[in-house]
Amino acid sequence: MYLYVFKNANKNKEILLSNPLYKRKDMLRLRKDSDIIVLLGDFMLSIKSRKEIKLWILSLLLFIATFLRYIFNQFTEVKDVFHHLMFLFYIMVFLLGYMFFRSERRDLKFSQFHHIFFFLAIVFLSFISLIIFPNAEYNHMFTQYLDVLMWLSITFWGFVSIPNNLLNRVIQKYYFIAFVTGTVFLISTASHRLGRNEIFNENTIGLFLAPFLIYLCITMKNHFLRVIVYLLGGIYLFYSNAMASFVGFVLFPIFAFLLLRFKKSRMVYSLYIFVGLLVTLVIITLNSHFLTEILSNRNLLWKIYFKNIISSWQTFLFGTGNWYADIADPLLKGLHAHHAFLNIVHFTGIFALIFYLCLIIFSTRKQIKHITVSDGILFFIVTFQFAESSVPLFNFMFPSMIFYWNLFLNKQSEDFLKS
């Protein structure tokens, strides 16, 4: 719109001034008014470009916080420095965002964030566990939840203080930066400039690629191009050997169809997660070499963690207080469950899992009219959590970041289509 005004203002001015019906005074007034239009058009264009630059700055800061987490383990001597830098860059995202866009702030309804209470319930549950069982494991568990609560408080302040439509644009640019980074690392690995699983493993590279591909599939209006991106994106993810990301990406059209068919996202998510957990339990009961090959030993890990969970009423109700199980097998030793939902029960108990599932389900809209990018990303990460798990619940890694940001954004995501 501004571009149209800017380009056509001088032309309109010349046409009107050439009209002999206008008196000298009117001509002078018109010249001034049209000059103002030209200046306003130019100003609006510069403001728009500055706004985009500010959004890119925030996206880059967010990505730096993420990238630092991935090189965290490369510098064991200065881990504490990296930990503080991650928080520093993350806080800067919201501080600068508030400074950049405080004039655009609009009042938000707190009802948009009611689902956060489910996370607070998990933290409170970990505190109750510590009171009942005052040992080192539950003390460590509660301390970790306090760290996550600090991060959540920063995030909540940011989403209350900064227009959420702008934060939505920040996270979409973040998807693009991640896609470029994943592509660079994939090419570097394929050309043997980097060793396999050096800095980023294959699952991480796939994670970096998929969200931007989902973004393209949802936002493209040309259906033919959308199909092309979907097919090429699926091939690209398959080539990256990131099977969890590949499955999440490939299944999304089916999930989108169900959402549009039933219009009730909470019901669809509930059924999807229930079926996923049921399938997990069935796999745990089976002894299949074929499944072990297909799931890359994940089914063996699930058996071990599930056995720990049901070993006593205490571990079933309140968890073990440990994110990692004590595993004797050298092939699996030191690995988390590679299943977020199992890991949460193992860590904090069955009630924590119930609250966590409520956090996911009630972060979504009651009724939907359109599929949004947030819907696609949230489905993708929920699917991913059946094969991977954060450490614990949140860290600064890419899947955690986009998961929690979309928990904050999803209820409003259809409004972003109008803004």
Q: Name the most confidently modeled range: 49-53, 183-187, 287-291, 357-361.
A: 357-361
What pLDDT sits at residue 32?
41
Hey, what amino acid is at 95? L
Q: Is the pLDDT of residue 12 over 60?
A: no
Q: Which of 104-113, 184-193, 274-283 has the highest average model confidence (pLDDT)? A: 274-283
Query: Can you give the pLDDT at residue 176?
Result: 94
Instruction: Output the six-digit token pair for 215.
Output: 């973004």
Return the biggest CA–CA distance within the chain. 95
Q: What distance in Å separates the CA atoms of residue 308 and residue 315, rounded to the nearest whole number?
A: 7
Residue 110 identity (one-letter amino acid)? F
Tell me the pLDDT of the chain averaged across its residues.
83
Mean pLDDT, rounded, for 315-323:
92
416 pLDDT above the threshold of 80: no
User: Of residues 390 and 171, which shows the higher confidence score?
Assistant: 171
CA distance between the termini of the chain: 14
Domains of the chain by residue range: 112-416
pLDDT at 345 (0 to 100): 94
Task: Find the mean pLDDT for residues 235-240.
Answer: 91
pLDDT band for position 15 (50/70/90)?
very low
What pLDDT, on a 0 to 100 scale, did the predictor assign at position 113? 81
Both tokens of 13, joined, read 């001015």
The b-or-e profile of 265-277 (16+ CB within 10 A means b, else e) is: bbebbbebbeeeb
Of 236, 256, 255, 259, the closest CA to residue 246 belongs to: 236
Per-residue pLDDT for 178 more than 80? yes
Residues in the chain: 419
Crossing angle (nearest 10°) for helices 243-262 and 265-285: 140
Q: Where do we find the tokens 């489905």?
A: 379
pLDDT score for 31:
42
Which segment of 8-17, 161-170, 384-393, 403-412 scores lowest on mean pLDDT?
Answer: 8-17
Rounded CA separation 214/86 (Å): 27
The answer on pLDDT for 243 being more than 60 is: yes
Please report which confidence band the pLDDT of residue 248 belongs to, taking 50, 70 and 90 as the band edges: very high
Q: Residue 324: helix, strand or coil by DSSP?
A: coil
Which region, left, alpha or beta, applies to residue 286 given φ > 0 means left and ψ of -120 to 50 means alpha?
A: beta
In this predicted structure, what is the pLDDT of residue 339?
93
pLDDT at 107 over 70: no
The amino acid sitting at 257 is F
User: Residue 47 pLDDT > 80, yes or no?
Assistant: no
* E-only strand ranges, 218-376: none
H helices present in 133-201, as ranges: 136-161, 164-190
367: left (phi over 0), alpha (psi -120 to 50) or beta: beta
Q: d(Cα 91, Cα 158) in Å, to the nearest integer? A: 9
Of 244, 68, 256, 54, which Cα lies nearest the Cα of 163?
Answer: 54
400 near 340, Cβ under 8 Å?
no
State pLDDT tens for residues 249-291: 999 999 999 999 999 999 999 999 999 999 999 999 998 889 8
The dihedral through the CA atoms of 384, 390, 395, 396 has a sign that is negative
85-96 average pLDDT score: 91
